[in-house]
Amino acid sequence: MSTQQPDMLPEHEHRGGEDQQPERLFSADTPPVEAIVQRFWETVRKSADVIVTLRQENTMISAQNAALRRSEKDLQQRMEDLLARIAVLDVPSGTVVENASDAVMLAEMRKSIDRTEDELKSVREANELVNAELQSMQESLTASEHRIVEAQEHLQDNSSLSEQLTAVKAELKARTKHFHEIQDSFQNAQDHRLGREALEMRLQELEQKSGLNDETALRIAELEEEVADLRQQLNRALAIVQMYRAAGLRHVEDPDLKDQMPLFGIQPASVPQGADVAKPTPETTYLTDAEIKILAERLDKVADQVAQLLGIS
Amino acid sequence: MSKAIRVTIGGKDLTLRGNDEEKIKRSVREVNLQVQHLQQTLREQSTPTLTVLAALNIAEKYLDVQDQSSKDVRFVSDELEKMTQYLERAWRQPLP
């Protein structure tokens, strides 16, 4: 365009080429309008064909409907005529016979009967047509009933599917419940395992304590032995005391040791005899009352320990 | 809500305002393509001259598109009118 370019530019350059990159702004990717209109034309033509076909069918159905209505009207009229003639023929025959002189009337009646028979034939034919129509209607009715049965079966299928779905839901619910029960039993087993571990720990503690009890029993046995030993010593001491008191002496000596040999130069105390017994000295007294008391106190302490060990208070 | 958009057209930085940022950027890109193409073919011309030529080219294409659009609208209207008449004939014509 000469109006859009300076004078020095050749005309073909001012747009930079028609098929160059800048042209893409105005190049539509959509199909051309003519193609779209052509496709729409095809649709319109098909629609017009459908319209014509529907109009033809409608016309045929209307004509058939009119013919059926006319046939129905005609049949209705014939039926009414026949009913009227039957009413005429129902006149009592005695009356006719009494008027035997009127032979003409009888002949007319015979003619009338003949016509009636002819009309009856035509009515039978019309009746056959009606029966054929009824047959076709019956077939149509049977087909409709068949469709209803199919629809009912379809409904029943839907019902059975619904029942199956309900059953599956119930089964799923039961399985969920069973799963929860298994979870609970697993939890119980877990609790039992923990309880068992606690019991085992308690058992170990008791076993340890039982070991302590064994040690205590040994200690008790030792103490009992000590008690027996002390009791024996006490009895022996008391026997010595009794013996020397009976002799009026304060000297105490263990008679069991009188025959032992002295070791390392130590002279054992000799049992006083005769005049020695009559003159006891404090230096020769081996077990005084205080010592006996100390021994008794020691014995009491041992008894207390035994009582504590045995749980006797 | 208009928004300030910084663009470069023909090597010159500009700040534009508009609602549709994407549309503005596309327009700028098209103008730059036109200018770049003219720069390649008309190396001796100054940038303002090339910019004016690009604007003229774009305006010419706009007018072409406008004319084509008017033609398309007229064509479609005529065709729709013909289709309507065709369907009315199919509806009203006497049946064989």
What is the residue extent of each domain of chain A?
Answer: 33-90+101-169, 209-256+271-310
CB contact under 8 A, B34 and A56: no
Q: Compute how many other C-beta atoms are within 10 angstroms of the C-beta atom of residue B39.
A: 16
Query: What is the model's pLDDT at position A95?
Result: 56
Check pLDDT > 80 for residue B47: yes
Would you state the structure tokens that stand for residue A65, as one six-digit string? 């409907």
C-alpha A4/C-alpha B62 separation (Å) is 13
Quick check: B53 and A55 CB within 8 A?
no
Give the pLDDT of residue B68. 93
Asked if A24 and A17 count as a contact pair (C-beta separation under 8 A), the reply is: no
- Interior angle at CA B76, CA B70 and CA B81, nearest 5: 125
**Out of B53, B72, B91, whose CB is closest to A33?**
B72
Residue A294 bridge partners (DSSP): none
Distance from CA of B87 to the nearest CA of A (A): 6
List the single residue in A with minimal CA-CA distance to B37: A16
Q: Does the CB of A2 have a partner CB in chain B at under 8 Å?
A: no
Q: Is A6 on the interface with B (CB under 8 A)?
A: yes
Distance from CA of A14 to the nearest CA of B (A): 7
Residues from chain B contacting residue A10 (CB–CB below 8 Å)? none
DSSP string for residues in chain A = -GGGS-TTS-GGGTTT-TTSGGGGGG---SPPHHHHHHHHHHHHHHHHHHHHHHHHHHHHHHHHHHHHHHHHHHHHHHHHHHHHHHHHHTS-HHHHHHTTT-HHHHHHHHHHHHHHHHHHHHHHHHHHHHHHHHHHHHHHHHHHHHHHHHHHHHHHHHHHHHHHHHHHHHHHHHHHHHHHHHHHHHHHHHHHHHHHHHHHHHHHHHHHHHHHHHHHHHHHHHHHHHHHHHHHHHHHHHHHHHHHHHTT------GGGTTSPP-TTPPPPPPP-THHHHS--GGG-SS-HHHHHHHHHHHHHHHHHHHHHHT--
Report the C-alpha gap between A310 and A128 in whole angstroms: 127
CA distance A204 to A196: 12
Q: How far is residue A307 from each of residues A213, A300, B60, measured CA to CA in Å?
A: 15, 10, 127
By C-alpha distance, the chain A residue nearest B64 is: A26
| Contact between chains at B87 and A20 (C-beta distance less than 8 A) | no
Per-residue tokens: B12: 């010159």
pLDDT computed for residue B24 by the predictor:
94
Cα gap A260→A272, rounded to integer Å: 16
* Candidate from A94-98, B20-24, B85-89 with smallest mean pLDDT: A94-98
Taking one residue from A and the other from B, the number of pairs with CB-CB distance under 8 angstroms is 72
Question: What span, in angstroms and rounded, lies between the C-alpha atoms of A10 and A7?
Answer: 8
Region of residue A264 (left: phi > 0; alpha: psi -120 to 50; beta: else): left
- Listed residue (A89, A78, A83, A84) closest to A112, CA to CA: A89
pLDDT by 10-residue block (mean), chain A, 313 residues: 35 39 49 88 92 91 91 90 83 56 71 82 86 86 82 76 82 87 85 85 81 78 83 81 68 55 51 47 59 82 78 64
Q: Quick: pLDDT tens for A187-231.
A: 888 888 888 888 888 888 887 777 777 787 788 788 888 878 888
Residue A19, chain B, CB below 8 Å: the answer is no
Q: Which residue in chain B has the smallest CA separation from A25?
A: B30
Please report, for residues A276, B30, B58, B84, the alpha-carbon distance to residue A25 in angstroms, rounded to integers and kept in the order given.
Answer: 155, 7, 9, 35
For residues A1 and B73, the model is more confident at: B73
Residue type, A17: G
Length of chain A equals 313
Using the predicted structure, report yes or no on whether residue B32 has a pLDDT greater than 90.
Answer: yes
Instruction: Give B-chain residues touching A37 at CB under 8 angstroms.
Output: 75-76, 79
Pick A33's closest partner by Cβ from B53, B75, B83: B75
Residue B78 has pLDDT above 80, yes or no: yes
Q: Do B33 and A22 touch (CB under 8 A)?
A: yes
Signed CA dihedral, A47, A50, A54, A60: sign only: positive
> Is A26 in Cβ contact with B61 (below 8 Å)?
yes
Local structure of residue B42 (DSSP, 8 states): -
Query: Which residues 36-95 on chain A approach chain B with CB closer than 8 angstroms?
Result: 37, 40-41, 44-45, 47-49, 51-52, 55-56, 59
Give pLDDT, residue A3: 33
pLDDT of amino acid A287: 62
CB contact at 8 A, B50 and B42: yes
| Closest residue to B86, CB basis, from A13, A34, A48 | A48
